[in-house]
Amino acid sequence: MAKNSSNSTNFDKYLCFNMSYIFLYVERGIFVEGYILNSDVLCFTQDIDDEKKVLIVEKNKKFNIDADCFKFIKKCCMVYGHSYTMQRQFVIDIFNYYIKTPIIVSDYNMIIFFPTAAPNSKECIWISYNNIDRYVKEKDYTKIFFKGGKVINISTSFSTIDSQITKCIKIEKYFGNLIWEEEFNYEGLPKESDWGYDVGGNGWGNAELQYYTEKNPDNVYVEDGKLTITAWNEAYDKNEYTSTRLVTRGKKDFLYGRIEVKAKLPKGKGTWPAIWMMPTESVYGDWPKSGEIDIMEHVGFDQDTIHGTVHTEKYYWKNSNQKSAQIKGEEVSDTFHTYSLEWTPKVIKVYFDDTLYFTYQNENSGKDAWPFDQKFYLILNIAVGGAWGGQQGIDADVFPQTLEIDSIKVYDLGIKVEDK
């Protein structure tokens, strides 16, 4: 798996890969009974019926080997070319994960296992992050669904499992490729190679009051290392306000990855800025059937609240079951904050700075709940008024208002997908 070149020095510091050593190690049969962790392993633990054996669960079978569980993962790390201690220290140094540290057993194949308890305890279960499809909180246990259909119930709390998976996602991100970076180090209108415009003033389905203009430097401009979208209180084509809605549709389309947008928001009643995503091709039908991902929404009448949301046919406001969450953010209109999305085939997670506050899991119930297996494009805009933004009226005197973007970064998280 390719990794971000900026991380190479730190990584190489800990991975002393010696192929001749590995071949010698394997040839002598030092690893347990000729068996090694691989991509088919779902989990393993000390067998409660025979404490001298490790119970291994693979996708299609389970079996025992004569081993100590903790020594087993250490020896598997050695076979892949590095020590357990070295791999643990790498994760600690980069991510500060001292407790229940996930282990990259194989950096080449990015095989990651995480412990559910202290690694040397007999109660610890080592779980393959790569093979998890989804996980569900039950009354007294956590249910984990693996790819291929196998399900296990463990007594480990849901919060612990969620925390461990979040750690693994961040580790995976570290090795992902930076596939697009925009730092706006030029002056003028946004680059046509990256950005297009949605144009018009038809209310946009929400009774909004702005007209979105195209290539108007009064509404959008790049200068001093920042992209600025400005909403004005001015009449235009039967609309009371003007603004811009930038889109990457057909220029920068994404399927899975991590998107980070560093932004400073407008303020005042009636403003409704958003950083969000829509499907490049609505293959499952019109909105909301093909989905929508809101990385950040903010309404001026609730100044300190940030919203993260997904819209699908099964879950949206008309069904009274909207999937969303909120987080309080300080000085969002005075300082820059980072609004991030992590999107995998398993889960969508939304962050404010480094704080995870919204999680939406793929429940494998069909496209009505998970249309997020297609390419989406990025949207930046300020709406004015509307069903939500104008819910408590509009303060016309606060305009003009700006949405400032300092940078955009997109990582692929190392997820390989076929072109769609």
Which residues participate in catalysis according to the annotation? 292, 297
How would you list the strands of the sheet with 142-146, edge to edge?
132-137, 142-146, 151-154
Euclidean distance between CA atoms 296 and 28, whole angstroms = 55
12 membership: H or E segment, kind and range:
helix 8-14
Q: Is the peptide bond before 400 cis (omega within 30 degrees of 0)?
A: yes
Burial class (CB in 10 A: 0-12, 13-18, 19+), 283: middle
Among 294, 284, 344, 346, residue whose Cα is nearest residue 323: 294
DSSP strands (E only) in 215-322: 220-223, 226-231, 241-243, 245-247, 253-254, 257-264, 271-279, 292-297, 305-311
Answer yes or no: are the C-beta atoms of 39 and 111 closer than 8 Å. yes
Answer yes or no: are the C-beta atoms of 33 and 67 closer than 8 Å. yes
Burial class (CB in 10 A: 0-12, 13-18, 19+), 151: exposed
Structure tokens, 198: 């949605």
Q: What angle do CA 207, 198, 291 make, to 5 degrees?
A: 75
